[in-house]
């Protein structure tokens, strides 16, 4: 299957086809997770009819993989109407949900409609930790009950665990919970800035020593030697490579119709209420600007030994101020994995030393003058 997906991706790259789209149908949510990057108020969501009109455009554009997310998708009472239409268009549908609102009827319908997989956020196997993060009492119990109903029907469930300071000691417990439920498990130590640029929630992110421990835990990363191996030599193929799939084979649509290169890349490129999707995909200056960037075009990163193995996110770099610049969070991950600082981190350290030396000279000169 992976070979087929790789072939589909290669063909999509050659033809400029948007193979995958994440469509957030609402930002409303019954949880209020402390690290969430969204504004949960409704500022004028697309109607079900508008969404279905966009889905028809996506099908015409060649989209195959469609991920419905939010907020919490089931906060929309018309979600199953939207989902049914999406499946009639033969999209391969994945859903991100907290599973809190999934009961027998919802589980039956999801199974009947042939949803490919559901990703459920679980932050801890301990209710006092998980519920403190979601700020919704009883949320762990309800989410686990929803997962059991889905697994009872043979549906594929992936438990997603965002690591942060509050749940850092619980990831092995969540791994064990996933095994008990017959679910898959994925972990992510990245806390994303809010979509309005607010970076205050980054304080929940884990520190360098904790990251090192995460990357050296086989239950989380698999082959530790491979994951933590030193970076390989950078050649022209790597320098000519694409930073990621954003705007190449993937994009993101918000509940208000705004189109972005990625959910973590809040660069506006157009709105499906005012333009056809393919017009935005093909002709947006912002989309085409992102598409033009290659590894060799990245400031600092182009000369970095980690260029070929770094998980650098252009969206995170954009939110730091430069889409062609480094993502500090990803530099920290590379250091935690390999023990080798990135070119960006070395440059920052050198700059700090120069600033320190400069301030010292000024202080000494001031003392001499005062004397």
The answer, yes or no, to whether residue 363 has pLDDT greater than 60, is no
Q: In the Cβ-directed half-sphere of 186, how many Cα atoms lie within 13 Å?
A: 9
Give the pLDDT confidence of 23-71 residue by residue, as tens digits: 999 999 999 999 999 999 899 999 999 999 999 999 999 999 999 999 9
End-to-end Cα spacing for the chain: 77
166-202 residues labelled b (16+ CB within 10 A) or e (exposed): bbbebbebbbebbeebebebebebbbbbbbeeeeebe
Q: Is the pLDDT of residue 368 over 50?
A: no
User: In the structure, what pLDDT confidence band is assigned to residue 349 with cuts at 50, 70 and 90?
Assistant: confident
| Four-residue CA torsion sign, 174, 177, 179, 184 | negative
Helices 139-152 & 104-112 angle (0-180, nearest 10): 40
Mean pLDDT confidence for 236-250: 93
What's the whole-number mean pLDDT along residues 353-363?
59
What pLDDT, on the 0 to 100 scale, is given for residue 204?
93
Which pTM does this prediction carry?
Answer: 0.92
Distances (CA, A) of 192 to 23, 170, 195, 364: 18, 20, 9, 42
pLDDT value at residue 356: 63
Provide the mean pLDDT of the chain: 93
Quick one: which of 235, 366, 350, 356 has its CA closest to 302?
Answer: 235
Q: What is the structure's pLDDT at 359? A: 57
Dump pLDDT digits (tens) for 303-324.
999 999 999 999 999 999 999 9
In the chain, the percentage of residues whose pLDDT exceeds 70 is 95
Supply 54's token pair. 């966009």
Which three-class secondary structure state does DSSP give residue 157? strand
Of 121 and 193, more confident = 121
Element containing residue 183 per DSSP (H, E) = none
Location of structure tokens 């393919």: 278
User: What element of type H or E holds 304?
Assistant: none
Statement: residue 367 has pLDDT above 90: no
Nearest CA to 255 out of 41, 95, 109 is that of 41
Secondary structure element (H or E) that encloses residue 198, with its range: none
Residue 116 has pLDDT above 60, yes or no: yes
Give the H/E segment covering residue 240. Answer: none
pLDDT at 1: 56
**Chain segment 154-203, per-residue pLDDT in tens:** 999 999 999 999 999 999 999 999 999 999 999 999 998 887 878 899 99
Q: Give the model's confidence band at 148: pLDDT under 50 very low, under 70 low, under 90 confident, else very high.
A: very high
Question: What is the rounded average pLDDT of the residues 199-225?
Answer: 92
Q: Provide the 8-state DSSP code for 246.
A: B
364 pLDDT more than 50:
no
- Least confident residue range of 23-32, 192-201, 288-297, 325-334: 192-201
Helix (H) or strand (E) holding 118: strand 117-121
Please give the Cα distance from 76 to 97 (Å, whole number).
Answer: 12
Q: What is the DSSP string of 10-75?
A: HHHHHHT---EEEEE-----S---TT--S--S-S-PPPHHHHHHHHHHHHHHT--EEEEESS-GGG
Query: Over the stretch 81-101, which tens digit does the pLDDT of each residue have?
Result: 999 999 999 999 999 999 999
- Report which of residues 357 and 148 the model is more confident about: 148
- Residue 339 pLDDT > 60: yes
Position 282 pLDDT exceeds 50: yes
- The per-residue pLDDT for 286 is 97
C-alpha distances (whole Å) from 39 to each of 26, 27, 71, 193, 198 are 10, 7, 9, 12, 11
Structure tokens at 144: 């686990």
Q: So what's the pLDDT on residue 352?
A: 72
pLDDT at residue 218 tops 90 = yes
pLDDT level of residue 350 (50, 70, 90 thresholds): confident
Query: What is the DSSP code string of 94-116?
Result: EEEE--TT--HHHHHHHHHTT--
């Amino acid at each position: 299957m992976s070979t087929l997906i790789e072939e589909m991706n290669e063909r999509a790259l050659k033809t400029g086809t948007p193979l995958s789209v994440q469509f957030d149908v609402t930002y409303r949510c019954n949880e209020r997770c402390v690290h969430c990057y969204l504004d949960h108020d409704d500022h004028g969501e697309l109607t079900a009819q508008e969404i279905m009109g966009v889905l028809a455009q996506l099908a015409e554009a060649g989209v195959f993989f469609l991920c419905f997310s939010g907020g919490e998708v089931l906060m929309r009472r018309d979600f199953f109407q939207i989902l049914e239409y999406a499946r009639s268009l033969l999209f391969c549908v994945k859903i991100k949900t907290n599973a809190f609102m999934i009961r027998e009827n919802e589980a039956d319908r999801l199974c009947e409609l042939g949803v490919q997989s559901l990703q459920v956020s679980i932050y801890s196997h301990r209710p006092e930790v998980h519920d403190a993060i979601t700020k919704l009492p009883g949320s762990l119990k309800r989410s686990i009950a929803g997962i059991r109903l889905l697994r009872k029907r043979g549906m594929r469930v992936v438990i997603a665990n965002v690591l942060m300071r509050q749940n850092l000691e619980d990831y092995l417990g969540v791994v064990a919970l996933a095994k008990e439920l017959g679910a898959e498990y994925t972990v992510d130590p990245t806390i994303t800035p809010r979509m309005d640029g607010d970076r205050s929630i980054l304080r929940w992110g884990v520190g360098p020593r904790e990251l090192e421990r995460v990357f050296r835990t086989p239950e989380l990363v698999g082959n530790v030697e491979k994951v933590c191996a030193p970076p390989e030599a950078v050649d022209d193929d790597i320098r000519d490579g694409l930073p990621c799939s954003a705007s190449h084979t993937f994009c993101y649509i918000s509940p208000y119709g705004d189109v972005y290169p990625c959910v973590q890349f809040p660069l506006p490129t157009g709105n499906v209420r005012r333009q056809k999707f393919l017009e935005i995909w093909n002709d947006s200056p912002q989309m085409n600007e992102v598409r033009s960037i290659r590894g060799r075009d990245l400031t600092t990163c182009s000369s970095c030994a980690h260029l070929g193995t770094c998980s650098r996110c252009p969206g995170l770099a954009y939110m730091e101020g430069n889409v062609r610049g480094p993502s500090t969070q990803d530099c920290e991950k590379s250091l935690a994995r390999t023990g080798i600082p990135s070119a960006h981190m070395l440059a920052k350290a050198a700059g700090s030393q120069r600033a320190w030396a400069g301030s010292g000279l000024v202080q000494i000169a001031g003392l001499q003058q005062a004397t």
